[in-house]
Amino acid sequence: MNIRKIISSAAAIVSLSAISVFADPAIIYDLGGKFDKSFNEMAYTGAERWKADTGGNYREIELSSEAQREQALRRFAEAGNNPIVMAGFAFSTVLGEVAKDYPDTRFAVIDGYVPDQSNVLNIGFTEHTGSYLVGMMAAMKSETGIVGFVGGMDIPIISRFGCGYVQGVKAVNPDATIIYNMTGTTPSAWNDPVKGGELTKAQVSQGADVVYHAAGGTGVGVLQAAADAGILGIGVDSNQNYMHPGKVLTSMVKRVDTGVYDSFKAGANLAGGFATLSLGNGGISYAMDEHNAHLVSADMVAAVEAAKAKIVSGELAVHDYMSDSSCPVK
C-alpha cells in the first residue's frame, strides 16, 4: 500500500458546506527555516510539488520564535486556510488547544501527537527502522570500529533515531563503539551548524570514521566537518548525499514531503487520526544515487535489503525508544 492510500484512507467525507469552501492550504515550518536542507526543506518540497501538480496556491510561514506557533495557527485558521499542516512535534500542545476552536478546519501535524481530536491528522514515521539500516551501513564501512551520532534537540523522537542507529551498528559489529552526542536542550539545537561541526570534530578525535546526524540545520555542520576530516557522514530526512559527493555514505530519508503533499491534496476531506509512514510503504528509506554508489558495495546493499525485508515482515523487531523511553543497547 502506498503512502497516498494511507493518508487518503484516513480521510472522511465532510459536510457539503465544508466541501464547497475552496480555501488555500497552509504550512508552518518549524524553527530552523524552510531551507535547512533537512526536515523543513522536505516539507517545503512537498508543498511545492503539490503546487506544481495542481496549479494551486498555498500560504506559508517560517517561525522565528516559540511564541509564533499559536499566532500562526490562529491567523491561518481565521483566514480560512484549509488544511493547515505543521512540521514538527513542538506544535502538539498548542495545536491541541487551537484545533478545538476551529472544528471545521483540518489540521495535519508531522511528528506530533494530538489524540482524540477529530480534525487533526497525526503523521508519524518509523525513524528507528531506517536508522537501523544506516547503522548497519556505518558498521560495515567503518575501519576503526568507532562510529558517531549527533542528535539535535535532546527529545524522545531524536533518541528514537539514535537508538535505532545503535541497534543497527551492533547487529553488524557487537564490539563497535558508538560516540553519542545531543546538540542541546532548546530549539536552537536545530540550527547550530557550528556546534554540530565541533561535536563531529570531537568524535573524529576519538576515532570515529562514520558520523550520522539527526539534527536538522545543525547537521549541515556535521556533514561539513566529516567531509573536512576525511571521514564519512550520514544524512537525514532528505537525501543529503549531494552535499558532499563521495563523503556522505548514505542518508536516512524520511518522506516528510509526501506527508505534506497528500495532506494538501486531501484538502477539506482530510480527517483526524493517525498515519504511519514506514519502510513498508516507502515513507522511510536509505538513499542510493550517483553520489554514494561507489561507497556502498553490493554486499552491503544485500545485507541491508535482507534486514529491511525482515523488518517489514515482522521477523526482525527494532526496538522503538519512544515505546518505553529506553534503548536496549548502548
Residue 66 falls inside a structural domain: yes
Pair type for strands 107-110 and 146-153: unpaired
> Residue 303's CB: how many other CB atoms inside 10 A?
17
Q: Residue 127's closest CA among 177, 185, 168?
A: 168
Q: Are residues 113 and 75 in the same domain?
A: yes
Q: Are residues 195 and 94 in the same domain?
A: no
Q: Are residues 101 and 143 in the same domain?
A: no
The predicted pLDDT at position 226 comes to 98
The predicted pLDDT at position 31 comes to 87
Residue 168 falls inside a structural domain: yes
Residue 210: what residue type?
V
Residue 330 falls inside a structural domain: no
106 and 270 Cβ atoms separated by less than 8 Å: yes
Distances from the Cα of 266 to the Cα of 142, 148, 261, angstroms: 44, 40, 9
The predicted pLDDT at position 110 comes to 97
The predicted pLDDT at position 137 comes to 98
Q: Are residues 169 and 309 in the same domain?
A: yes
Q: Are residues 191 and 209 in the same domain?
A: yes
Q: Are residues 32 and 135 in the same domain?
A: no
Name the H helices within the chain.
Answer: 3-9, 16-19, 39-54, 68-78, 92-101, 127-141, 156-172, 193-205, 218-229, 256-266, 298-313, 321-324
For the chain, the domain total comes to 2
Q: Are residues 320 and 193 in the same domain?
A: yes
| Angstrom distance (rounded) from CA 239 to CA 197 | 19
The predicted pLDDT at position 37 comes to 87
Q: Are residues 118 and 154 in the same domain?
A: no
Q: Which residue has the cell 548514505?
A: 250
The predicted pLDDT at position 22 comes to 54
Q: Residue 320's closest CA among 291, 294, 292, 284?
A: 284
Residue 192: what residue type?
D
Q: Are residues 102 and 211 in the same domain?
A: no
Residues ≥6 apart with Cβ < 8 Å to 216 = 32, 36, 38, 39, 40, 152, 190, 191, 237
Residue 183 falls inside a structural domain: yes
Q: Are residues 205 and 67 in the same domain?
A: no
Distances from the Cα of 77 to the Cα of 63, 85, 103, angstroms: 16, 11, 10
Residue 96 falls inside a structural domain: yes
Residue 231 falls inside a structural domain: yes
Residue 180 falls inside a structural domain: yes
pLDDT tens digit at each of 330 positions of the chain: 455 554 544 443 333 233 334 589 999 999 888 998 889 999 999 999 999 999 999 999 999 888 899 999 999 999 999 999 999 999 999 999 999 999 999 999 999 999 989 999 999 999 999 999 999 999 999 999 999 999 999 999 999 999 999 999 999 999 999 999 999 999 899 999 999 999 999 999 999 999 999 999 999 999 999 999 999 999 999 999 999 999 999 999 999 999 999 999 999 999 899 999 999 999 999 999 999 999 999 999 999 999 999 999 999 999 999 999 999 998
Range of the domain at 62: 3-126+256-277
Q: Are residues 18 and 109 in the same domain?
A: yes
Residue 291 falls inside a structural domain: yes
Q: Enter the pTM of the model.
A: 0.90
Q: Are residues 314 and 269 in the same domain?
A: no
> Residue 302's CB: how many other CB atoms inside 10 A?
10
The predicted pLDDT at position 3 comes to 52
Pair type for strands 284-286 and 248-254: antiparallel
66 and 32 Cβ atoms separated by less than 8 Å: no
> Residue 37 is part of a domain; what is its CATH number?
3.40.50.2300
Over 8-22, what HEC string results? Answer: HHCCCCCCHHHHCCC
